[in-house]
Structure 1
Amino acid sequence: MSSLFLAPALTPAFSAGLLLSLSLIVAIGPQNAHVLRMGLRGQHVGLTVAVSIASDVALIALGVLGLSQLGGLPRWVQAAMVCGGVVFLLIYGWKAWGRFRAGSAAHQAVAEPVAAMSRQQAVGAALAVAWLNPHALVETLVLIGTASLAWGSPGNTFFGMGAATGSVVWFVGLGLCALWLGQRLQSPALWRALDGLVALMVWGTAAALGWGLLSN
């Protein structure tokens, strides 16, 4: 039985989905900043992480399973979608690189305090930053869903599983780090270094998608 669960994780599609998900999700945005602040304050960390993971998995599933139905469209339509994803990644990476070059002053917002919340408010806030966040919607519904088209079926399902695993790993790790490391994660210098890494990872993903498009 365990081999049935391990088999997808050993496929190239799963690894590609995992790497793409991680390269996108580590970018500093409303959702990550919210999880980080809740962790630093020790407020409903597990609940916030759980809602964030559930939302990401649902959006990834919608993107992968929904866009898999577009397999019958002309190839130029699929190519245009991939090109759009590449352009988005290039711009996203450029913005991250700009924050890295700007220095620590560009990352002070992460240290802003979060007001105390009830459980209901915590759930509502986590849902809002997941489902009303344009970046998260583009990344999961469009970019990850489009990238999954290159793997066909059932490769696209394995790709989506890898992407969902990336979300689980990231949010659990982020919540735990924020909870246990406390004020150290509020250092603007740390976020500056992370932005530099994000830019390189996102540009690498864009190059891989572009190469795959040219190779087909």
Structure 2
Amino acid sequence: MVVFWQGLFVGASLIIAIGAQNAFLIKQGLSKQYIATVAGICFLGDVVLMSFSILGAGSMLTRIPLLSLMLAIVGAIFLLLYSYRCLKSAYTGQSALHLQADQVTLHSHKKVALMAFALTFLNPHVYLDTIIIIGGIAGTLTLEQKWWFLTGALTTSLIWFFGVGFGARLLLPWFSKSKTWQVLDFGIGVLMFWLALGLVYYAHNLLQNPIV
């Protein structure tokens, strides 16, 4: 169960960070337009990419120690940079997402679905999150732990996408506050730093105890 909570928090730290995908989801939530479609595509993307990363790519890493080491190092560097960016945003307050209902433009169902699909599967950042970060962490787990980790991460994804999509209007006052995003960015930054240290420790152990 510990790994489940780890997956839950890792998933939250990556999914909640506001980017193009979440901004689009929130705007659709504000307009009350095709929310289930957008949230469903976002969640489906996580199911496919996280499952491959944790059960596929992660399993491959355990059989190729050198690749696992390289990914752990790259992942640690990326997490440290990610942590720095979040902590900087928390300090400056630059990540606040100010959305108003009158800023939303209505589109056809097909166009909304295509936009959601593109923001989910054509976003390079998504693959950095799933392959480098989640895949790197999963590579250090046993098969049973990977299932718990995946369940935790997907639980966060399900709650976040559908919760934000359908609750966007109710949460608008909360989302509009710069202080809220500063606190959120600070928490994410600290968690990313802690995860980076974990990957550094894992890489150090691989170097000290190489597997031939």
- Give the equivalent residue in structure 1 for 2:84: 94
User: Which residue of 180, 187, 203 maps to 1:197?
Assistant: 187
CA contact (8 A) 2:30 2:104 kept: no
TM-score (norm 2): 0.84
Q: What is the rounded CA distance, in whole Å, between the counterparts of 1:180 and 1:130 in structure 2?
A: 24
Percentage of matched positions with identical amino acids = 27
TM-score (norm 1): 0.83
The number of equivalent residue pairs is 203
Structure 2 spans left out of the alignment, 5+ residues = 207-212
Letter in 2 for 1:202: M
Q: What is the rounded CA distance, in whole Å, between the counterparts of 1:109 and 1:167 in structure 2?
A: 20
- Give the equivalent residue in structure 2 for 1:63: 53
Q: CA deviation at 1:193?
A: 2.8
- Give the equivalent residue in structure 2 for 1:40: 30
Structure 1 spans left out of the alignment, 5+ residues = 1-10
- Give the equivalent residue in structure 2 for 1:144: 134
- Give the equivalent residue in structure 1 for 2:210: none
C-alpha RMSD over aligned residues = 2.2
CA contact (8 A) 1:23 1:205 kept: no
CA contact (8 A) 1:25 1:167 kept: yes
Distance verdict in 2 for CA 1:48–1:39, change over 3 Å = same
Q: CA deviation at 1:55?
A: 0.9
**Poorly superposed stretches of 4+, deviation over 3 Å:** 107-110, 211-216
User: Which residue of 77, 98, 106 maps to 2:67?
Assistant: 77
- Give the equivalent residue in structure 2 for 1:111: 99
- Give the equivalent residue in structure 2 for 1:4: none
Q: Following superposition of structure 1 onto structure 2, how do residues 145-184 of structure 1 map, counting pairs within 5 Å?
A: 145-184=135-174
Q: What is the rounded CA distance, in whole Å, between the counterparts of 1:19 and 1:215 in structure 2?
A: 24
Q: CA deviation at 1:77?
A: 2.5
Distance verdict in 2 for CA 1:100–1:30, change over 3 Å = same
Q: What is the rounded CA distance, in whole Å, between the counterparts of 1:53 and 1:15 in structure 2?
A: 19
Q: What is the rounded CA distance, in whole Å, between the counterparts of 2:31 and 2:201 in structure 1?
A: 43
CA contact (8 A) 2:71 2:136 kept: yes
User: Which residue of 32, 39, 49 maps to 2:39?
Assistant: 49
Q: What is the rounded CA distance, in whole Å, between the counterparts of 2:97 and 2:84 in structure 1?
A: 20
CA contact (8 A) 1:89 1:202 kept: yes
Q: Which moved more, 1:129-138 or 1:64-73?
A: 64-73
